[in-house]
Amino acid sequence: MPTVEALISRARKNEDIARRLFDIEVQIMNIGHCADFFDQLLSLVSEKFNIESVWVSLTDSPVNDHILRSIGGDRGQDKNAALHIMSTMDFLQATQSSRDPILVNEGFKKYRYLIPSSIYPKLGSMAILPLVVDGKIIGSLNLGDSSDERYEPSKDSFFLKQLAVKASISLAGVSIREKISFLATRDPLTLLRNRRELEESLERELSRSRRHHDPLALVFIDCDDFKLVNDTYGHDCGDMYLKYVSDKLIDMTRKGDMVFRFAGDEFVLLLPNQNSADAELIASRIKDHLSESPMTYRGLQVSLSISYGSISTDQLVDPTYKTLLKAADDKLYQMKKHKPPRCSLIDVLDLH
């Protein structure tokens, strides 16, 4: 039977563990972005409990799409062994879909898909703490040690389960807040940045352009045939048309460029470090590519035609948000004005 001193010592140790868990919870519960959440969580767990290796394994399940998009994760990623993306099937087979912590100090081959290659050789024992969001297991928080005793399977996992629950609840909150923030700045149909985000982004990029004396280009795009297609085939085809154009715009711009849905069938490209000649070349290539890449709808090839106006800060004196948009819109109007009219469905559909 434990002595009084031993019971007091154990109570103090448990109180200290509970306090450290509470400290972690307080610091992660109000984080706004998933990438920041994982960075902070791993750092705190490692620091508070002196753990040699701490990493997160996330499944590639569709339920994780938002989180993976937020952190820029790809399967097999080994980002300093911090975030490891793996097959959902491999994860569930290894863990048997357990919602309780799994302690392991042998037979690591079974869990090899959960373990980054840089950590695997030095593991003596590990704890796999399931992360559960919206009732679904999305991955695990993993703790590793070179000692085979630290996470020996017979040890009590009460506090490990508490850590798993606190991490899961906090991650769910972060994910919800980030989704709300994402949707507030996105067009619900195309998921492109919306007009409100354009104003903020353009002001920010203009400030950067002035500070670093780098050009900034803007391209205003209008879809010539959208109304005709939408009126003839209905809103489903019209929605598909807009999503098709938005996907093409993303595919044909650089990672640092920004694509916005301005309104209706109007789009805006924001091109940092591009002058007027660059912007014109990019816009012309996009126009040619779209005209050569019809959209398939119910067996018909629906052609696409756009007009555009491109402008760069090197063409204006003291450019502002309004003057850049106005100048690009004026050029767009001039292109549309000089285009031959297309008012027949035969002009829009390639029926051959």
Structural domains for the chain: 4-184 (3.30.450.40), 195-350 (3.30.70.270)
Give, in order, the Cα–Cα distances in Å from 134 to each of 55, 131, 172, 173, 240: 21, 10, 7, 10, 30
Q: Which residues contact 232 (CB under 8 A, 6 or more apart)?
A: 345, 348
pLDDT (0 to 100) of residue 7: 77
Contact 242, 321 (CB under 8 A): no
What does the DSSP assignment read for 209-226? HHHHT--EEEEEEEETTH
pLDDT (0 to 100) of residue 62: 85
Give, in order, the Cα–Cα distances in Å from 295 to each of 240, 250, 345: 9, 16, 15
CA–CA dist 231, 28 (Å, integer)? 50
Residue 212 structure tokens? 């670093």
pLDDT (0 to 100) of residue 134: 87
The pTM is what? 0.69
| Partners of residue 125 on adjacent β-strands | 145
pLDDT (0 to 100) of residue 341: 63
pLDDT by 10s per residue, the chain, length 352: 678 787 788 888 899 999 999 999 999 988 888 889 999 999 999 999 999 999 999 998 888 888 887 887 554 444 446 888 989 999 999 999 999 999 999 999 999 999 998 899 999 999 999 999 989 999 999 999 999 999 999 999 999 999 999 999 999 999 888 888 888 899 999 999 999 999 999 999 999 999 999 999 999 999 998 988 888 888 899 999 999 999 999 999 998 999 999 999 999 999 999 999 999 999 999 999 999 999 999 888 888 999 999 999 999 988 999 999 999 999 999 998 877 665 554 444 444 4
The dihedral through the CA atoms of 187, 191, 193, 197 has a sign that is positive
CA–CA dist 318, 311 (Å, integer)? 13
CA–CA dist 243, 255 (Å, integer)? 19
CA–CA dist 339, 18 (Å, integer)? 71
> Quick one: which H or E segment has residue 315?
none
Nearest to 221 by CA among 269, 272, 277, 289: 269
The dihedral through the CA atoms of 33, 34, 37, 38 has a sign that is negative
CA–CA dist 119, 40 (Å, integer)? 20
pLDDT (0 to 100) of residue 18: 93
Residue 73 structure tokens? 């994760």
